[in-house]
Amino acid sequence: MTTPYQRQIESDLTDIGKALSAKGLDATERERLLRRLLRVARRAASDPAYDPDRAAKLVAAQPKVTGTGADRMNGQLASAAHVLGRAAKWRSDGMTFAKLKYRFMGKTPADAIFIAQAAYMTGDMFGVSAALTLNPKAHVALFYDPCANSDRDARAHLLRFYDKSSDTWHPRVALIPTTDCEAAYRLSIDGRFPDTVFPSGVPEPLSKVGKCVPIGTATAMVADAYRAGAKKATAALQAEWLPTGWEDGSLRPVKGGKSLAEWVGKRFDTRNVYAFIWFRRSGTKGGAHPELDTSVKVTGELIEAVRIADPITKQWLIPNAKAVVIGDAGHGLSDKADIDFTEFWNDPGSPFTDGDRRTQLALFAYLNKRGITYMNIGMRSGALEGPALLGAKTVYMEELYNLQEGRMDKWDGPVPGYHRIALGHVPTEQGKRVLDQLILAGLERAGEDLTESVRGLAAASGIAEATVRELFAAAAGAGISPAKHIFDPAAPKACFDRLYAAMDKSLGGKIMSISEPSWKNCVYWGYGGIRAYQSQGKYLVKQKICADYDGPAEGLSKADKEALWNVIAHTIGGWETQ
């Protein structure tokens, strides 16, 4: 006997199959349907009692796509097949979500603060780990999709760092399986745990606290700790993060390799100062945020920004400064920089080839200990955040329209030597194109989610779909103005309270007559629609700010160069030179 939820999955799969089989389907519509198929496949995999055979056959029956966007669309089809294949394997092996244990060793205190983190949020690793170290109330709810290879890899990467590469679990990090990391993150912040996303119900570690806080709370906790005592906070992170032997440079993790002191001694001189210019190309290799990658031109401009004080004399800000290009390979700027530290973690015989991020962090802490004067300059990246908390002077650039900018702005002031610059746009032409695509995809996804929520709430409440859409706009639209570049929405709970009042009015004051099962659906679709409407607004604000940008397609604008210059000059003002 199938449950209503299983019948809904079956109906969705049948509808998608019919639509995909239609003749004359254009590429855009096919891709939309394939994305929907992937979502439904995840739902099928999440239900321990659901037999995925029919769904798997439906996915397998879809022909390969040719023409525009074929690779992307076939990738969606392959992902759905992979998800259902995993579900079938779990069934044959007797494995279900119900048997996936929540990894959590500690008892949840009443005042625990659970920071929500989805597995793909690897760039927040240092900030989250720092919060765990500096705030004893901090806990982490780490959500991952066991169907997704990328989630499992990211989960392992994060846990290696949080657990200090040992066999002991961090007692305040809960590992929670889910069918959809992105949805789990949003829903947990609202304190909602629907079985479509959390098949095993409310995760036990969260049962006492009720809900999570956004991941940006971690950076706020860190800022508070540094504001209370920067030296004490830095010392605590040194003790938590750095391996034995970092202080005197005796650290030698690779047998037969150089010690940290030997490696640094051959490359740095206390009579010089060093500007580390970070070249980023991780996005083109499949990493997160490809729009933040830097180009050869932009990296060259960053080198010039620290090198030239006067356009005529071409003099350095400081005569004995050295430009160090560091980070990913592919820049071809070795001749423009004084020192090439490209992918220094792969340098044969160095202390860094063990692949441990803690050893890489030890480099920057040891440079401080040795009295080497330096600073890091680069686009938003977790690679800059860890060293900054260990005392590295840092110029941290991120785009103005990045709506998470308040997250890292909190460190500007409390964390010594850390300075943030808000650029008018991502600095590369390729990054701008990628961002345009991300915005369009985000708008489409938010639009689909909003339509789904409108239909769901209309069916559950009996209110017409057109009216429901208007109610969502009225309840969730406050504080969102693309024309004014403003995105400051109300909290979902406040929006839902407004939605509830408007629904009651629309129903003639009879909202209490809705049956309990239908009301649960009203709550689910109500919050879903609020999130979707606000997400749509976020992307519209981004889109308008991008459209209003009047700087160059490739490179830094004049205003960005001036801002960069002022921050670098301010940072350099604290340098000790010979």
**Does residue 392 sit in the same domain as residue 453?**
no
- The answer to the question of residue 105 being in a domain is no
**Does residue 420 sit in the same domain as residue 569?**
yes
The enclosing domain of 318 has a CATH number of: 3.40.50
Contact 542, 486 (CB under 8 A): no
**Distances in whole angstroms, Cα of residue 200 to Cα of each of 47, 55, 102, 197, 457:** 9, 22, 10, 9, 24
**Does residue 141 sit in the same domain as residue 175?**
yes
Phi, psi of 393 (to 5 degrees): -60, 135
Contact 411, 434 (CB under 8 A): no
Last residue within a domain, chosen from 193, 219, 245? 219
Contact 303, 378 (CB under 8 A): no
**Does residue 206 sit in the same domain as residue 264?**
no
Residue % of the chain over a pLDDT of 70: 76
Nearest to 381, CA basis, from 93, 123, 59, 72: 123
CB-based contacts of 438, cutoff 8 Å, min separation 6: 291
- The answer to the question of residue 245 being in a domain is no
C-alpha to C-alpha distance for 369 and 459, rounded to whole angstroms: 65
Relative orientation angle of helices 27-46 and 70-92, to the nearest 10 degrees: 10
Give me the pLDDT at residue 521, please.
86
- The answer to the question of residue 496 being in a domain is yes
For 330-377, the pLDDT digits (tens) are 777 777 888 888 888 888 878 887 778 899 999 999 999 999 989 999
**Does residue 274 sit in the same domain as residue 326?**
yes
Paired strand residues for 393: 375
Give me the pLDDT at residue 7, please.
60
Give me the pLDDT at residue 157, please.
86
**Distances in whole angstroms, Cα of residue 528 to Cα of each of 185, 329, 532, 539:** 13, 42, 6, 17
> Burial code of 288-320, b = ≥16 C-beta within 10 A, e = fewer?
ebbbbbbbeebbbbbbebbbeeeeeeeebbbee
Give me the pLDDT at residue 191, please.
87
**Does residue 461 sit in the same domain as residue 528?**
yes
**Does residue 289 sit in the same domain as residue 411?**
yes
- The answer to the question of residue 366 being in a domain is yes
- The answer to the question of residue 275 being in a domain is yes
**Does residue 349 sit in the same domain as residue 470?**
no
C-alpha neighbours within 13 Å on the C-beta side of residue 469: 10
**Does residue 89 sit in the same domain as residue 121?**
no
Last residue within a domain, chosen from 170, 194, 219? 219
**Does residue 124 sit in the same domain as residue 197?**
yes
Q: Which long-range contacts (CB under 8 A, 24 or more apart) does 431-439 make?
A: 431/290, 431/291, 431/292, 431/293, 432/291, 432/546, 432/553, 434/283, 434/290, 434/291, 435/291, 435/542, 435/546, 436/546, 438/291, 439/539, 439/542, 439/543, 439/546
The count of other CB atoms within 10 Å of the CB of residue 486 is 13
Q: Can you read off the two tokens belonging to residue 483? A: 């024309």
> Burial code of 144-174, b = ≥16 C-beta within 10 A, e = fewer?
bbbbbeebeebbeebbbbbeeeeeebbebbb
Regions of the chain short of the pLDDT cut 70: 1-22, 25, 27-28, 30-32, 34-35, 38-101, 147, 149, 165-167, 282-288, 308-319, 401-406, 571-578
Q: What is the β-pairing status of strands 273-279 and 393-399?
A: unpaired
Give me the pLDDT at residue 509, please.
92
Phi, psi of 40 (to 5 degrees): -65, -35
Relative orientation angle of helices 125-134 and 382-389, to the nearest 10 degrees: 30
Say what the pTM is. Answer: 0.80
Paired strand residues for 177: 144
The count of other CB atoms within 10 Å of the CB of residue 61 is 10
Segments of 59-137 assigned E as strands: 113-118
| CA angle in degrees (0–180, nearest 5) for 289-290-294 | 115
Q: Can you read off the two tokens belonging to residue 296? A: 């050869």
Q: Can you read off the two tokens belonging to residue 402? A: 């990045």
CB-based contacts of 370, cutoff 8 Å, min separation 6: 249, 264, 268, 270
- The answer to the question of residue 29 being in a domain is yes
Phi, psi of 18 (to 5 degrees): -65, -45
Handedness of CA 345, 389, 133, 179 (dihedral sign): negative
- Domain with 332 in it: 255-427+563-574
Handedness of CA 419, 222, 280, 374 (dihedral sign): positive
For 189-230, the pLDDT digits (tens) are 988 888 778 877 888 888 888 899 999 999 999 999 999 999
C-alpha to C-alpha distance for 411 and 402, rounded to whole angstroms: 16
C-alpha neighbours within 13 Å on the C-beta side of residue 426: 21
Looking at the structure of the chain, the number of domains it has is 4
Q: Can you read off the two tokens belonging to residue 104? A: 């959590």
Paired strand residues for 374: 274
Contact 140, 162 (CB under 8 A): yes
DSSP symbol at 205 = G
- The answer to the question of residue 120 being in a domain is yes
Last residue within a domain, chosen from 198, 219, 240? 219
C-alpha to C-alpha distance for 8 and 191, rounded to whole angstroms: 24
Q: Residue holding tokens 């209490």?
A: 512
**Does residue 144 sit in the same domain as residue 265?**
no
- The answer to the question of residue 229 being in a domain is no
**Does residue 127 sit in the same domain as residue 46?**
no
**What's the count of helices (H) and strands (E) in the chain, helices before strands?**
19, 11
